[in-house]
């Protein structure tokens, strides 16, 4: 699939927001993005419109476009949605995941198992890939889209606390347990383990922020 300029702008700007390179609450300057990305105003605006729909950008009339702020109160609300969605996702993955998808998730778990020497940011990238693969393994495109949206909102919280997060905080061993439940086609156990994983995230971030 050929990416449009709007797709490219969306991907780059989203990553800058998620990793807090563009800090929460900061003003977004279209002209600066045009120069930095070497793209025209139209694709930049299309990208920002999509990011607004994903709650990463806020348009304030007569003031401008801002990176969405992050409030500690957001944490509980994001958790309530993620624990339900990702629990459902793990249950469906246990029922529907293909052998190839299970192998791909297994590769992520192997990388996590050999985490010595990895920094927190490297582990976050692996965690991100595992959750993406798990969402795809549920074989429900609507669920996949919603999980990505709320995972990205949660990921910003990780990056805000990055200087305080230790590798152990990422609860990487639980991924292996979730994957084993999926291999065993134990949908109930997969769901419960994933809910525990999301709860661990919520408790860890609350303690750090």
Residue ranges and CATH numbers for the domains of the chain are 5-67 (1.10.10.10), 72-208 (1.20.120.530)
Crossing angle (nearest 10°) for helices 141-160 and 72-96: 140
Q: Which residues pair with 27 in a beta bridge?
A: 66
Among 191, 167, 164, smallest CA distance to 177 is for: 191
Query: DSSP character for 23?
Result: -
In order along its 209 residues, the chain shows pLDDT tens digits of 688 999 999 999 999 999 999 999 999 999 999 999 999 999 999 999 999 999 999 999 989 999 999 887 888 999 999 999 999 999 999 999 999 999 999 999 999 988 777 888 888 999 999 999 999 999 999 999 999 999 999 999 889 888 888 888 888 889 999 999 999 999 999 999 999 999 999 999 888 87
Q: Is the pTM of this model over 0.75?
A: yes
Q: How far is CA 3 from the centre of its chain?
A: 21
Tokens encoding 93: 């993955």
């Amino acid at each position: 699939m050929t990416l449009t300029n709007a797709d490219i702008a969306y991907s780059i700007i989203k990553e800058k927001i998620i990793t807090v390179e563009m800090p929460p609450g900061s003003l977004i300057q279209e002209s600066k993005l045009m120069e930095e990305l070497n793209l025209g105003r139209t694709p930049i605006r299309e990208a920002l419109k999509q990011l607004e729909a994903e709650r990463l950008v806020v348009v304030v009339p007569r003031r401008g476009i801002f990176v969405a702020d992050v409030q500690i109160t957001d944490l509980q609300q994001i958790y309530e949605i993620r624990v339900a969605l990702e629990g459902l996702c793990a249950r469906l993955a246990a029922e529907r995941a293909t052998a190839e998808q299970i192998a791909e998730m297994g590769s992520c778990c192997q990388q996590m198992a050999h985490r010595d020497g990895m920094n927190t940011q490297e582990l976050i990238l692996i965690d991100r890939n595992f959750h993406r693969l798990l969402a795809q393994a549920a074989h429900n495109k609507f669920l996949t889209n919603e999980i990505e949206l709320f995972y990205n909102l949660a990921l910003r919280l990780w990056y805000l606390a990055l200087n305080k997060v230790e590798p152990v905080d990422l609860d990487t061993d639980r991924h292996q347990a979730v994957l084993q439940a999926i291999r065993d086609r134990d949908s109930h156990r997969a769901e419960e383990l994933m809910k525990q994983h999301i709860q661990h995230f919520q408790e860890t971030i609350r303690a750090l922020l």
